Structure 1
Amino acid sequence: MNETVVTVVGNAASAVEAKTTAAGHPAARLRLATTVRRYDERQGGWTDAHTSFYTVWAFRALAENLVASVTIGEPLVVQGRLRVRQGERDGQRWTSADIEATAIGHDLARGTSAFVRVTRPLPGQEEAVSP
């Protein structure tokens, strides 16, 4: 089966929404905006062209880490499987471009970030509780 894997650089255009799947697993969603920049020789500088928006979905540990790490406006790099959906609602046709993320990170070309490793207990193991 062929899948379209994309890497998109942009900004978080919405707050991360935490959800839970029907199977009880963590899920998260955010909107990612990416704007084309072009050099305008007449003006002698860079200008913004069109902006595209993607709905980014993350699941399980990636979803939990996304909720804890990203806020609106932060520059991101997202890699995942592209899904383009079309439909009709109330007589209006719509198209949605979704990315099921396999990796999400801050864009270090535009700022710094501090990595904190998260350790989670294996299934069936309980976390030690301090008295």
Structure 2
Amino acid sequence: MNETMVCAVGRVATQPVYREMASGPSARFRLAVTARYWDREKNMWTDGHTNFFTVWANRQLATNTAASLTVGEPVIVQGRLKVRTDVREGQSWTSADIDAVAIGHDLAWGTSAFRRRGKPETAPAPAQPEPNWETTQEGSSSPMDAPAQQPPEAAVLT
């Protein structure tokens, strides 16, 4: 499958919008990407044209995006470029979306503290006695008739 993968470096233009969908979490925000060039006449860097992309994040990336990004922060977004053209009410419009694979802060502009998200806590299953899988003892007709042996504490996994 041929897909157009892009890496865009810009700033968060809108606060991420987080939604719980039937297919899982989803988040979107607008990314402003401004070209910069060296102006020889002015002898300084100058801002060029600004492109705006709608960045879409899904599943865990959506949750982390909503919790980590705010307007104005410099970010790097990698993902699949999707360009759509549509006509509504007689007006033609084009949108450029990025289906994000990875999003991170641009450390050229500041520092960031990474925190790994833990797995959600699940209640442990109630302990059940270990069945005795050993051969039958003398006088016993079935392995289940034999008394269950408890494993040593060091062998119990938690």
Cα deviation digits, residues 81-101 of structure 1 (max 9, x gap)? 000011011110000000000
Q: Is 1:78–2:74 an aligned residue pair?
A: no
Q: Is 1:18–2:14 an aligned residue pair?
A: no
Q: Secondary structure at the match of 2:107?
A: coil
Higher normalized strand content (fraction of residues): 1
Rounded Cα–Cα distance in structure 2 between residues aligned with 1:10 and 1:83: 18
Give unpaired runs (5+ residues) of structure 1: none
Rounded Cα–Cα distance in structure 1 between residues aligned with 2:88 and 2:79: 27
Q: Is 1:39–2:35 an aligned residue pair?
A: no
Q: Secondary structure at the match of 2:7?
A: strand
Q: Which has the larger radius of gyration?
A: 2
Distance 1:127 1:33, change over 3 A: farther
Q: Secondary structure at the match of 1:68?
A: helix
| Deviation (angstroms), 1:19 | 1.2
Q: State the structure with bigger RCO (CA 8 A, min sep 6), 1 or 2.
A: 1
Rounded Cα–Cα distance in structure 1 between residues aligned with 2:20 and 2:8: 25
Rounded Cα–Cα distance in structure 2 between residues aligned with 1:8 and 1:38: 16
Cα deviation digits, residues 31-82 of structure 1 (max 9, x gap)? 0000000100100101111000000000010000000000000000000000
**Residue of structure 2 in register with 1:7 after alignment:** 7
**Residue of structure 1 in register with 2:130 after alignment:** none
| Deviation (angstroms), 1:111 | 0.7
| Deviation (angstroms), 1:21 | 2.5
Aligned residue type for 2:92: R
Within-5 A mapping of 1:1-131:
1-23=1-23, 25-121=24-120, 126=122
Identity of matched residues, % = 56
Distance 1:115 1:91, change over 3 A: same
TM (normalized to structure 1)? 0.91
Rounded Cα–Cα distance in structure 1 between residues aligned with 2:94 and 2:21: 23
Aligned residue type for 1:98: D
Give unpaired runs (5+ residues) of structure 2: 125-158
Q: Secondary structure at the match of 1:67?
A: helix
Rounded Cα–Cα distance in structure 1 between residues aligned with 2:123 and 2:106: 33
| Deviation (angstroms), 1:22 | 3.3
Runs of 4+ in 1 over 4 A off after TM superposition: none
| Deviation (angstroms), 1:20 | 2.3
RMSD in angstroms over aligned alpha carbons?
Answer: 1.3
| Deviation (angstroms), 1:120 | 1.9
